[in-house]
Amino acid sequence: MPTTSRTLRRGALLLALGAWACAPDQSPTEPAGPPDPVLATAATYTPHDLGTLGGRVSQATGINNAGAVVGWSMVAGNLRRHAFVWQRGVMTDLGTLAGGESEAAAINQDGVIVGWSRIKSGDMRAVRWKDGLKKNLGTLGGRNSQALGITVFGAITGWSETAGGDRHAFVWQDGVMTDIGTLGGTAAMAFGINRSGVVVGQSRTASGATHPFRWKSGVFKDLDTQGTLFSSAAAINTKGQIVGTLGPPPDAVGDDRSVTTPFIYFSETLTPLGRIRKPTSFARAISPAGIVVGEEHDPEGVQDPWVWESGTMRPLPKLAAGHAAGQGVNLAGTIVGYSDAGAGSVHAVRWDRQ
């Protein structure tokens, strides 16, 4: 499986049998725009290889409505990854802080990008790229932080370590990083934020379980209505539709403990989206029109990308046999992610919707 900080991130969205995952959602937030496109069930998707910054591996993590794509790529030598923005056929290296490594997670409609970069000590810092300049957003008193979502108004969310070493979700705005708390446990991580400032992610509860949350106007809501072993919310759109992943029930044993199911949460109702054919499936992003993307895994870890629209989940084509995943989607239904590209390489991909 290709390495990604979303395995530290989206530090997070991959939930591994109740453990905190640090996978990127990236959940780029879209402003209000034109009416939603008609979601035709017969739509087809064509993958396009976006290339790399000179290394063998790249991943796309987010896309805005203008079609600008962000993510990360290994550079020549394949020893370090750098954040990139891809526009009009050109992949541009966004650079790093002093630690020489970075990833981009999300981009808003103004082209402002967020992610993380290493500093000289090797620790991670949440970063904003704006008008060609990098800004270290700091931490909540600890050593590491990552920015994972941004609104059109410039509000940023993600996670940071505290002085005590716990990971807490934050909202950064006007130069101030604010700890938004938890569901009662010791840790929380935010993965997405919409234009209304509603934040979603995952948090420890007082009992030690990991549950998806919605944070709105200073109030947390636990979204797990199923009583699962672990679960997480990955993204939220302008309508307030939330997508995420439910883990297995608490009495699951053996292979059943690896079963996960994507869900959508809207109007205070959680609806499982089902799976195609593999037991482990994750929702990663949702468009303003309600198109959901993600990937499913077999017991050997092979990943297959999928798209859910108009009540139907369908597989997405790959560049070559092997791993692939959908990680972002915009208003037009253009999907981004990654796919094996052959010859031991994994490349950032854009799936165009027809």
Bridge partners, 221 (sequence order)? 214
CA angle 117, 330, 327 (to 5 degrees): 50
Residue 341 confidence (pLDDT) above 50: yes
> What does pLDDT average to over the chain?
90
What are 214-255's pLDDT values in tens digits? 999 999 999 987 889 899 999 999 999 999 999 999 899 999
Q: Binning pLDDT at 50, 70 and 90, where does residue 31 land?
A: very low
Please report the sign of the dihedral spanned by the C-alpha atoms of residue 37, residue 68, residue 105, residue 297: positive
Q: How far apart are CA 151 and CA 172, in angstroms?
A: 11
Question: What one-character-per-residue DSSP string does 74-87 give?
Answer: EETTSS-EEEEEEE
Mean pLDDT on 110-132: 98
- pTM (two decimals): 0.90
Superfamily assignment of 5-29+48-353 in CATH?
Answer: TolB, C-terminal domain (2.120.10.30)
First and final C-alpha spacing in the chain: 29
Residue 188 confidence (pLDDT) above 50: yes
What are 320-329's pLDDT values in tens digits? 999 999 999 9
What are 300-314's pLDDT values in tens digits? 889 999 999 999 999
**Selection from 161, 92, 153 nearest residue 126 by Cα:** 161
Instruction: Enumerate the domain spans of the chain.
Output: 5-29+48-353
pLDDT score for 227: 87
CA angle 314, 316, 318 (to 5 degrees): 155
Q: Which one-letter DSSP state was computed for residue 140? A: B
User: CB-based burial of residue 79 (10 Å sphere; 0-12 exposed, 13-18 middle, 19+ buried)?
Assistant: exposed
To 10 degrees, the CA torsion angle through 22, 198, 332, 63? -40
What are 253-296's pLDDT values in tens digits? 999 999 999 999 999 999 999 999 999 999 999 999 999 999 99
Which amino acid, residue 190? A
pLDDT score for 225: 79
